[in-house]
Amino acid sequence: MAEAQVNQPPLERLPVSVITGFLGSGKTTLLKHLLAHPDMGETAVIINEFGEVGLDHLLVEKADDDTILLESGCLCCTIRGDLIDAMRSLYKRRVKGEVPPFKRVVIETTGLADPAPILHTLMQDPVLTAVYRLDGVIATVDAVNGESQMDRQMESVKQAAVADRLLLTKSDLSAPEKLAALEARLYRLNPAAPIQRIVNGAALPASLFNAGLYDPETKSLDVQRWLKEEAYAERDAHAHDYGHDHHDHEHHDHDHGHGLDVNRHDAHISAFCLTRDAPIDWQKFCAWVDMLTATRGPDLLRIKGVLNVVGETAPVAIHGVQHLFHPPVLLPAWVGDDRRSKLVFITRDIDRAFLTESLAAFLDDAGPA
């Protein structure tokens, strides 16, 4: 990670939400439904192909080769070349008044995409980070096919594991017991993401957006809502209800009673929260992060944290995806009495003990305070 270059948060950047989910899991259906909602005016949507989306019923007008305007005031543009170019050009055209002054961006990924490179783009490109901020990742999971997709495709497990919001689509087509089993599986994988059952894309925009650190309603940074560290403790407290301890990698290839391969990919994913009481030395922390990203980068699916840093009177928020970290953000002040550092991890084949012990070693102390 970069040296202790702590940035003030630019609060007025445009929020970007990423919709991910396996092939055919209902991303486009969701998007169509969302774009017809009155709260979604002034949204710019970036997708790979218009053709697939079929927005005709929303009354479209073509602005140019790769952008269409919807009657609602939203605009859709296709990705030509890479996402960085598309997002830079969209912002430029907004500034020049060539497209409506959209207030939010939604990116629909292709069904097979790992969302990590998209998050990297939003964290790393200096132009994009100056004008956009990541609001959150929304993952659609097919209530009918989700189980088998997650059994067979690591990508679909990763998509659900890194999401901030989970949508169980096609819930009209699935039996209640099947829905409950899939929900329990998603909760084990990603306890901090609220899960909604939806039919034909019918989700309310308010339930999907504003998942980021910045709360536009209060115009402040809301760590509690973003980090949700309590969700990990609650999940662990209820682990026995589901018959397994999710941290436990010894259970990798166990048959959980549903069939040979069920949950095999899930067993590689861990989601947990580390806390530390004593303030953290920033340089030593960065050295630890550098070691982790260099040696285990691809397996650090998502890290969020708020740190009590030696010499800082306010907390520092960090956010990483694999080997890349967003520039750390100095928050305005501590809220409440809890001054502990908290780090939420979603990892593949990295367990809590390794992270706890290596952090302690880098911080030159005996272990978690």
Ligand X SMILES: Nc1nc2c(ncn2[C@@H]2O[C@H](COP(=O)(O)OP(=O)(O)OP(=O)(O)O)[C@@H](O)[C@H]2O)c(=O)[nH]1
Say how far apart CA 204 and CA 288 lie, in whole Å: 40
CB 144 → ligand X: shortest distance, Å? 9
Closer residue to ligand X, CB minimum distance, 172 or 349: 172
Closer residue to ligand X, CB minimum distance, 174 or 293: 174
Closer residue to ligand X, CB minimum distance, 28 or 190: 28
CB 53 → ligand X: shortest distance, Å? 8
CB 293 → ligand X: shortest distance, Å? 30
Long-range contacts: 35-41, Cβ < 8 Å, 24+?
Answer: 35/70, 35/72, 35/74, 36/72, 37/204, 37/205, 38/72, 39/204, 39/205, 39/206, 40/72, 40/74, 40/205, 41/72, 41/73, 41/74
Closer residue to ligand X, CB minimum distance, 27 or 264: 27
Closer residue to ligand X, CB minimum distance, 201 or 315: 201
Nearest residue to ligand X on Cβ basis: 111
Closer residue to ligand X, CB minimum distance, 28 or 43: 28
Closer residue to ligand X, CB minimum distance, 169 or 341: 169
Contact partners, residue 148, CB within 8 Å, separation at least 6: none
CB 201 → ligand X: shortest distance, Å? 6
CB 193 → ligand X: shortest distance, Å? 18
CB 171 → ligand X: shortest distance, Å? 6
Residues at the interface with ligand X (CB under 6 A): 21, 23-29, 52, 111, 169-170, 172-173, 199-201
CB 84 → ligand X: shortest distance, Å? 22
